[in-house]
Amino acid sequence: MKWNQEAEDAIKKVPFFVRKKVIGRIEKEAAIEGKTIITMVEVNTTRARFVSGMDSEIKGYQADTCFGQSGCPNRIVMSEMLLKKIEDLFEKEDILGFLRKSVPGSLKFHHEFRTSVSECPNACSQPQIKDIGILGASLPMISDIPCTACGACEEVCKENAILIHAEEKKAVIDFQLCVKCGKCITVCPTGTIAEEKKGFRIQLGGKLGRHPRLASEIPGLFNEDEVLEVVRKCIDFYKKNSTEGKRFAEIYQDPGFLNADDRDR
């Protein structure tokens, strides 16, 4: 739906963690009324309804994804099913009920448990500042197929993680620098660089606010079931240790509560 400039400027002032929700609500309510363009009238009408009914808008968690499914060429994984299962887990674990019991006073959006999935390492849904951030990843490997030293992989890698030894006709990947974007796999014309594994990276404990911190990554590449198991353990840890509405990111120190299996993959 089209927005006029004034409405676009106004929506940018809405706190980022509810902006997506507010935009969706404004467009939905405008569509119901047959509007095709969003102006300040639609923004103010919805904003008044949203603020007066804020308590009923809070569901205890936020689960977002990036815009990969709208056709982004960088997309490595499809996250719709995973996100749905994560939401089901939050509902089953009754995060809202837990927050209602533990938060003194009224619940606010900033109390909600936040997770987001980005479908590639570009991280457009900001997983680094979420309690649980999940990123689609494609791990490259050097196969037995001879390299022609064409240089395409070295050129496409924005991390400078690939070095071509032209005389030996050999590509070497530095896995300390590699972010598992899979671009080198796509451009390699010979198949010398192949995909070893596709999955998800997981980052825990990110937040903004008065004491911001970036999430730290737990090593490994996880499949969907493994991600869900980590999310379940994070919720368990959170419910056992959070008091007075403290966010997971405030109480998370290290991944000690995860099994050795999860850490040493």
Q: Where do contacts with ligand SF4 occur on this chain (CB under 6 A)?
A: 66-68, 72, 74-75, 118-120, 122-124, 140, 147-153, 156-157, 159, 161-162, 164, 171, 173, 178-184, 187-190, 192-193
Shortest reach from residue 164's CB to ligand SF4, in Å: 5
3-class SS string, the chain: CEECHHHHHHHCCCCHHHHHHHHHHHHHHHHHCCCCEECHHHHHHHHHHHHHCHHHHCCCEEEEECCHHHCCCCCCCCCHHHHHHHHHHHHHCCHHHHHHHHCCCCCCHHHCEEEEEECCCCCCCCHHHCCEEEEEEEEEEECCCCCCCCCHHHHHCCCCCEEEECCCCEEEECCCCCCCECHHHHHCCCCCEEEEEEEEEEEECCECCCCCECCEEEEEEECHHHHHHHHHHHHHHHHHHCCCCCCHHHHCCCHHHCCHHHHCC
Which CB atom, from 152 or from 235, has the smaller least distance to ligand SF4? 152
Shortest reach from residue 83's CB to ligand SF4, in Å: 12
Which CB atom, from 48 or from 145, has the smaller least distance to ligand SF4? 145
Shortest reach from residue 86's CB to ligand SF4, in Å: 16
Which CB atom, from 107 or from 150, has the smaller least distance to ligand SF4? 150
Shortest reach from residue 141's CB to ligand SF4, in Å: 10
Shortest reach from residue 84's CB to ligand SF4, in Å: 17
Which CB atom, from 56 or from 160, has the smaller least distance to ligand SF4? 160
Which CB atom, from 111 or from 180, has the smaller least distance to ligand SF4? 180
